[in-house]
Chains A and B, each alone.
Chain A
Amino acid sequence: MDSNDAIPEFTKAAPGGDVGVANMSALAAGPGIKSAREVAAIIGVAVVVIGATEFALRWFNVPQYIMPAPSLIAQALVTEFPHILPHLGHTLVELFSGFGIGALIGLVLAAVITQFPFAEKIITPYILLLVTTPMLALVPLLILRFGFGYTPRIIAVALAAGPMVMINAATGFRRVDRGKIALARSYGATTLQIFWKIRAPMALPMILVGLMVGAIFGLLTAVGAEMVGGGFGLGNRLTSYSSMIQMPQFFAVVVILSMLGILIYILFFLIGKKWASWEA
């Protein structure tokens, strides 16, 4: 956008004005744990909750196939881990490749499309459709076409993560701060320099939000796709253990999946803290 014919006015172009699907504050909204006392309190409560669950399940003699005790899940986690590990590897391969492809396409598309407001208006409804349609619905079709290997799963993950990254990144790239662009132009900056030195850093917080949400969506879709068909992956383990009523093992896989999700969150939280904390 050329500021040549725009009235030089700064008040309307405040950064962070509009917000897309997710907000940077979601990333920065860590509880802000500080002292050792707070850490002790958090661990203490967790111990009490898990202990009480254990006690209640034993006290009421709840059968294992309904809800196994936490101690049994922990035990299964240890003993079954060597068997689960290769499946974790498969899920990670699907997640990384699908997310990588989807995020890359999403980012490039967002950067290009926001430069052409008219094209953006035409394309956005389709992207919104991709964001809101569960990509899991396409997995049976993809399996018919590509078989039971990695391919249909990677495509599904890419389709789930990509639009999410795109829609958030586009919101970031749309945050034009006319004053900062004028600043760069006053030193003779080219369009490319304005993109890399002003637009991209301004968009970064929203891009990180998009990447985080996209990665979580990708994990969801990867596991779902594994449950639909094929003989490997953590999702496949879930269906397999539940069909054999091996509930401790089933929950061990659930715990691993939760860990994976939390790791994704922490990763992007740390990246955001390092590179986008100026926003907070």
Chain B
Amino acid sequence: MSLREQSNPKLRVRGATKVYPTASGDLVAIDNCNLDIEAGQIVSIVGPSGCGKTTLLWSMSGLHSLSAGEVLIDGKPITGPSSEIGMVFQDANLLPWRNLDANIHFPFEIKHQKPDRDWIARLTHRVGLEGFGERFPRELSGGMQQRAALVRALSFKPSVLLMDEPFGALDAFTREEMNHLVEEIYLDTRTTIVLITHSIDEAIFLSDRVIVMSTRPGRVAKEYAVPFARPRSFEIMATKEVFDLTNAIKLDIVGEQKSKASTATRKLPQAAH
């Protein structure tokens, strides 16, 4: 489904299908999903809620096995969690019984490695969390917690950063700040980033490409290129191009939701798009 013919994308999703067995029968979360993500790109995935975005991301991270299909990183199939991949979860997901330093060192503890203190200090400085190492998560604001989670995910220098609705719980201003921060870090590290979000603004501001997913069973319905130069400022959000892009994406998502509603009333097995 890729628009470009790229020979070795960083991440390649091929025919990804995931079926969850539930009490009321099988639930097909994603069905024959295909997607290529080139190295050094930021790609956002948007779509109606419950469309399998998180399932797709978890499959990329190796946390989930697929029922069919595969995900390749640098051409090699992902079979489990890998040091190439850093995850940022919903709601920061810090361990409340550890202070910030211990939270950031957690990946190294699990991997039995010595933390790269210089790199971590640099990241900590970049996100503005210097001097907060002894604090516990409950003492910090949501934005600060998510900054710490960002440092934790990047601490072991993964080449891919997967972000699962990372800023959904933050207020609008903190969210914009975090978006700037992610771009800054991206420009610094050129890490490939896959971002799941509910905010079309966030998707457009950050991404090189925005992928729209269909309703469940999820597959790639459409994709848009976002051709603005970096670093971006929020002024681009007021341009006509962004306005049109936002509308087009919104209409796509609404269209997906409608098609779901109509198939539901007609009791058809699959959503058409």
Contact = CB atoms under 8 A, between A and B. Distances in A.
Given A179-B91, A182-B63, A278-B138, A8 B54 contact: yes
A23 B83 CA distance: 39
A181 to B, nearest CB: 10
B89 A4 contact: no
B110 A179 contact: no
Contacts, number: 75
Interface string A256-280: 0000000000000000000110110
Most-contacted residue by chain B among A4, A8, A10, A204 (CB, 10 A): A8
B90 A10 contact: yes
Given A182-B63, A183-B93, A188 B80 contact: yes
Interface in A124-155: none
B95 A187 contact: no
Contacts of A182: 58, 63, 87, 89
A188 B63 contact: no
Contacts of B136: 278
Interface residues of B, number: 34
A8 B91 contact: no
Nearest to B82: A188
A8 B55 contact: yes
Given A5-B20, A8-B55, A182-B89, A187 B110 contact: yes
B128 interface: no
B89 A278 contact: no
A186 B61 contact: yes
B29 interface: yes
Contacts of B85: 186
A179 B89 contact: yes
Given A8-B55, A10-B91, A278-B97, A189 B110 contact: yes
**Across the A-B interface, the 3 shortest Cβ-Cβ residue pairs:** A187-B110, A278-B96, A187-B107
9 contacts: A5-B20, A7-B29, A8-B64, A182-B89, A183-B87, A183-B93, A185-B81, A186-B81, A188-B81
